[in-house]
Every structure is written in structure tokens, then in C-alpha cells.
Amino acid sequence: MERTWLDGRIALVQGDLTRLQVDAIVNAANASLLGGGGVDGAIHRAAGPELREACRALGGAHTGEAKITPGFRLPARHVIHAVGPVWQGGGAGEDAALASCYRASMRLAAEHGLRSIAFPAISTGAYGFPIKRATPIAVDEVRRALEAGGPVRRAVFCCFSPEDAAAYERVLAVLPA
């Protein structure tokens, strides 16, 4: 399933992020950048052990930051590792930190001349960020970055569950097709 908005520049797909052929997929990483559960584990499994070696050299990252590696055995050429906030009730700067993840990822993609990027729903799994509060943040930041110009032509929101896809659709519905 894929739906698009803004002349195809934003797409919504339900499925496995690790299968997407894009210039970069974004990993919902933890601060160690050394792998974990959820989408992080799936990305490391699909990319192979070279990814962990490349990540080790990055020396970790702070919440809201993003760092880039090759994609190794993934169909995606690169992985952008973004560290989302752990949900603490909403009053600890989680919204700003989540926005920073999307902004930093789009900035890195642009700096590397990448044309397409795909995001999971960062922080909304094990990190507990409510999906309905995360989707407007994700869509706003990505849309803003796309509209600012630059090499990134297409951004994909990729989610596993139909419920998460529906949450994105409700936010994306206000955009022009």
C-alpha cells in the first residue's frame, strides 16, 4: 500500500522499512548507536555485521541528533541513525527532541546529496511517544524541509501497523495530493 501527497514528494507506506529502496532509511536508534530492539534490530539484522562496526566508529549520539552510515546489505544506500526521546509524560522536551530528529535527518540527507529518505515512526515503539502526538511533528518537519528546496525530492513514512498508518493519514489528509 502506498499513498502520496504534495505531488508524490511525501508517501505513506505500510510495511517493512528494511525492504525499501531509497537513498537512506532512518533508524530509530538509541544513544549508543550500537543496535537494539524494534526497527533498530531489524535494520542491523538486514544490513549485516558491517553496520555495527561502522556504528561503533560514530561514538554514540545525543537525543535529537542523527549520524549517517552506509547501508551495507540493505537495499537502502545509507542509514541515518536518529536518537529519539524516551517519552516521560510530554513535559520534558520530548516534542522538540522528536522534531530535532526529523530535522537533523533531513539536513544530513541534504548534505549528502540524497534524493529519497524513509522514516519509521521514531520513538513511538519501545520509547513510548504517543503516535497521535508524534505524527504531526514528523509531518511538519519533513514537509518544511522538503519545501525549503535542496536535493531531497521524496520522503516516505513507513509504518508497520495499520493503526499507525491511519494516524499519519489523518495528518496528511490536509495536504494537497
- Contacts to ligand ADP by CB under 6 A: 16-18, 28, 38-40, 42, 84, 120-127, 158-161, 164
Smallest distance from ligand ADP to CB 153, Å? 21
* 40 in catalytic set: yes
d(CA 94, CA 27): 18
Q: Smaller CB distance to ligand ADP: residue 31 or 177? A: 31
Closest CA to 54 of 30, 42, 70, 66: 70
Nearest to 123 by CA among 83, 170, 157: 83
Q: Cβ closer to ligand ADP: 71 or 125?
A: 125
Q: Are 39 and 125 in contact (CB under 8 A)?
A: yes
**What's the min distance (Å) between Cβ of 39 and ligand ADP?**
4
Q: How far apart are CA 125 and CA 69, in angstroms?
A: 23
Nearer to ligand ADP, 8 or 162 (CB): 162
Q: Which of 7, 16, 23, 40 is catalytic?
A: 40
Q: Which residues are catalytic?
A: 40
